Amino acid sequence: MKLNMKSFNINYTDKELAQSIQKKIDHLNKPKGSLGRLEELALQICLIQQTLSPSLNHPCHLLLGGDHGIEREGVSVSPREVTWQQMINFTHGGGGVNMFCRQHGFKLRIVDTGVDYDLSAVEGIIDRKIARGTRNFLHEPAMSQEEFDRAIQTGVDLVDDCIAEGCQVLCVGEMGIANTSPSSIWMSLFGNIPLDECIGAGAGLDHPGIVHKREVLSQALKHYHETMEHTVENAIRYFGGYEMVTAIGAMLHGAEKGLVVLVDGFIMTACAIAAIRLYPAAQDYMIFTHCGDESGHRRMLDIVDAKPLLNLGLRLGEGTGALCAYPIIASSVHMINEMNNFDTAHITKYF
């Protein structure tokens, strides 16, 4: 597939070390396999970092904001001004994402990639605005090729800033009213699932609202097929928000640079699947952290055979599910680094 976008050099993790990692895990003073998913996580993180002694230094969280032209069609119960209002609220430390970043030691970067409001003077918000919201994809592509390229590059640049500070763990969250709509369409296109089965209540639509959302998105998808050649890149550009395409760029560059990439809920899973469709090897670097409460999220995770760590009924977004899951990920690293093995504990190995 020929891409116009920036090329990434993403390799599958080198599995040559896997046997040595598994041997170390199995020799820890515990019954073989008794720490379950923690052992799987430790193996994955060791393979990402190509070491038997992994670390999770300077975890960073990118919170990306952007508005969507499709919101004008009444597909969300929340009006678009909630996007900028919440972005400002995040600078005051009052969001769920702020609380969890403080709790788990993440460096939070709040980034305006395409909010339909002037936030340039707001202290605490990084201005990477591409435009004041995307176009309405009911009638035309959400963004131009140039805007798409800028969004991908913005994600790359943000990750480079994190890496410069010593980041080994990347978490990405979003704030964008109506972004469940493009996510549902990507789920349908990339998972070959009927669109009606991909559409849920978003932030709280009632049944008539869901019916209306299905009608609007069905029309949009029909227009896309009538006017565009279907490729992964075209589908991303036609329907995606600036915050979503920036997230894809960030995830791909995080994988390229060997970071542990934490994937949050419905919207970020859609972005992760888009990234994987572009570069399948990127999945080796991703940890899918939870299955949210949005209709179809479990089916979306099944598209890439992802096993989420948590199922707490979350649907807030912002990256909060990934942040909640982080202590489990940290526990896997403490396990492989700090548990005694049978030799040092002077315990007979019985298997």
pLDDT in tens, 82-115: 999 999 999 999 899 999 999 999 999 999 999 9
* Residues 134, 28 share a domain: no
The model's pLDDT over 242-268, given as tens digits with 9 standing for 90+, comes to: 999 999 999 999 999 999 999 999 999
CA distance 144 to 134: 9
The model's pLDDT over 125-143, given as tens digits with 9 standing for 90+, comes to: 999 999 999 999 999 999 9
What domain range is 36 assigned to? 17-54
* Residues 276, 201 share a domain: yes
On the question of pLDDT at 6 being above 50, the answer is yes
9-21 mean pLDDT: 97
* Residues 258, 191 share a domain: yes
* Residues 207, 80 share a domain: yes
Strand order in the sheet with 107-114: 125-127, 107-114, 60-66, 169-175, 260-263, 286-288
Q: Can you give the CATH number for the domain in which 216 is found?
A: 3.40.50.10210
**Mind giving me the DSSP string for 138-191?**
TTS-SS-HHHHHHHHHHHHHHHHHHHHTT--EEEEEEE-TTTHHHHHHHHHHHH
Catalytically annotated residue among 16, 39, 318, 338: 318
* Residues 120, 214 share a domain: yes
Residue 207's pLDDT is 83
**176 falls within a domain:** yes
Say if CB 271 and CB 304 are below 8 A apart: no
**136 falls within a domain:** yes
**345 falls within a domain:** no
Residue 317's pLDDT is 87
Say if CB 296 and CB 198 are below 8 A apart: yes
**241 falls within a domain:** yes
The model's pLDDT over 213-234, given as tens digits with 9 standing for 90+, comes to: 999 999 999 999 999 999 999 9
Q: Is 318 a catalytic residue?
A: yes
**24 falls within a domain:** yes
* Residues 303, 170 share a domain: yes
End-to-end CA distance of the chain: 49
* Residues 101, 27 share a domain: no
Nearest CA-CA partner of 131 in 314, 146, 121: 146
* Residues 162, 27 share a domain: no
**34 falls within a domain:** yes
* Residues 69, 32 share a domain: no
Number of domains forming the structure of the chain = 2
* Residues 308, 211 share a domain: yes
**92 falls within a domain:** yes
Helix (H, G, I), strand (E, B) or coil at 17: helix
Residue 201's pLDDT is 67
Read off the pLDDT band of 345 (50, 70, 90): confident
**337 falls within a domain:** no
* Residues 246, 166 share a domain: yes
Say if CB 278 and CB 255 are below 8 A apart: no
Residue 195 burial (C-beta neighbours within 10 Å; 0-12, 13-18, 19+): middle
Residue 2's pLDDT is 40
* Residues 22, 79 share a domain: no
Helix (H, G, I), strand (E, B) or coil at 276: helix
